Amino acid sequence: MSIPFNLVQNETKELPNNIEAEQSVIGSILVYNEIFDEINMIVSNKNFYDPMHQKIFSAIEKLIYSGTLANPITLKNYFENEKDEINIPEYLVKITKFSTSSRQTIEYSKLIYDLFVKRELIKISESVIDTAQLNDLDRDGQSIIESFEKSLFDLAERGSFNSSLVKFDEAMKMTIEMASNAYKNDEGIVGVPTGLTDLDDRLGGLHKSDLLIIAGRPSMGKTALATNIAFNAARKIQEEGRKSTIAFFSLEMSSEQLSTRILAEQSRIKQNDIRRGRISEDQFDKFIETSKNISELPLYIDETPAITIAALSNRARRIKRLYGLDLVVVDYIQLMRATNFKDGRVQEISEITQGLKALAKELSVPVLALSQLSRAVEQRDDKKPQLSDLRESGSIEQDADVVMFVFREAYYLERKEPQPATVEHAEWQSKMSDIANRAEIIIGKQRHGPTGNVFLEFEAMFTRFKDIQNS
């Protein structure tokens, strides 16, 4: 009986495939089971074009993982009752003749996977065309693009099994490299620097794959701190001459407002004066000069309001692919939307924080996200925030690697000004002068390090945080 080498024919145009390569890979495994683990790192049963080859590969996998030898004899029972146009047990014996060297088998496996990717690309493209042609009121053009991008990225990541399975010695190498970088760094920082010495000392910088939360009540300076960190990180990239960027997703403020903040901070001109044009000629010249100096800063601002976690993830992936990526900043979580919002706000926030943590791991970058605090803070005598004050705190606290709170006592004290020309007012003035520019960063959670407080100076007129010792 002749053995058909091309068992599957497309009714129209045949999709990319190489049946001979599939036969060679399966035949080689049947002859030499020891190569299966290496081959299985490259392809799975779903990557084969021929449905029968998929079944055979799956059966081989079951036998080997159960500790049983996989060859035509042990596989015979699996396919005795298989109704097909060919005799499968006989076919298994035949394809062992196509076995080849380990090196060639690996190359054929790569070819099989590559052809699988091309078939999937064709399917995705056809799906996009079909979806775009439908008059579906629930699917606009942008959502189709986002879905297409996600499908492409998922396909690209599907073959990265090796990157998710790390042998312990490889993990140790990465640890040693991390420790070595910290040792060689005069500042002892491994992660992305915040530009704030005391905060970097406590955190060691912002680490890859970490989700970091900056939380606080309105007007505490959350956005200011995040903007300062983003600017400092971008400037560090620029100084080192690396090809990378910082991505800032601003759901509350426009890109113009953010750039005004940064320019005000760097030129040391009040924001309000800049907006109202109340600046001298010298100040204007300084403003223009500062803008020229930082115009090439590797900082990208996305000002899409109410962005979904899926859209944000897709854009972050695109930025990393095109420009490189060191840090993602999100301002702020409560203004985001889940992709499929159905089960209430708490569940929606949970999907968002899980998505942000997954993005941090997937892109191997720190994700710094801002979060509002509940009004429970205002109802206590002690206004210092704590983990339970996080809005929808369960998921945020659980998913975050680091949770930091921004606290400025002066914010509350200035609202308690006593009657002028009284003893109480004099005492109030004295205390205000002591704490007016003081800010406290409370590290309420740090998965891989100590908690505690970091004290900074806050220049409200320039929306700038800085180290106290540098003041």
Distance between CA 191 and CA 245 in Å, rounded?
15
Distance between CA 407 and CA 221 in Å, rounded?
8
Among 297, 225, 305, smallest CA distance to 265 is for 225
Distance between CA 269 and CA 273 in Å, rounded?
7
CA angle (268, 274, 278) in 5-degree steps: 105
Average pLDDT rounded to a whole number, residues 406-425: 78
> How is domain 19-162 classified at the CATH fold level?
DNAb Helicase; Chain A (1.10.860)
Q: How confident is the model at residue 249 (pLDDT cuts 50, 70, 90)?
A: very high
CATH of range 170-470; options 3.40.50.300, 3.30.70.20, 3.40.640.10, 3.20.20.80: 3.40.50.300
Q: Residue 136 burial (CB < 10 Å; 0-12/13-18/19+)?
A: exposed
Average pLDDT rounded to a whole number, residues 251-261: 81
Same fold, 19-162 and 170-470: no
Average pLDDT rounded to a whole number, residues 86-100: 86
**Percentage of the residues of the chain whose pLDDT score is greater than 90:** 14
Cβ(217)–Cβ(401) below 8 Å: no
Average pLDDT rounded to a whole number, residues 73-92: 78
Cβ(193)–Cβ(232) below 8 Å: yes
Q: How confident is the model at residue 343 (pLDDT cuts 50, 70, 90)?
A: low
pLDDT number for residue 8: 47
Q: Which residues contact 98 (CB under 8 A, 6 or more apart)?
A: 20, 23, 24, 27, 28
pLDDT number for residue 10: 44
Place of tokens 């308690």: 416
pLDDT number for residue 330: 94
Residue 259 has pLDDT above 60, yes or no: yes
Among 27, 186, 24, smallest CA distance to 111 is for 24
Higher-pLDDT residue of 463 and 246 is 246
Cβ(393)–Cβ(403) below 8 Å: no
Domain boundaries, the chain: 19-162, 170-470
State the pTM of this model: 0.62
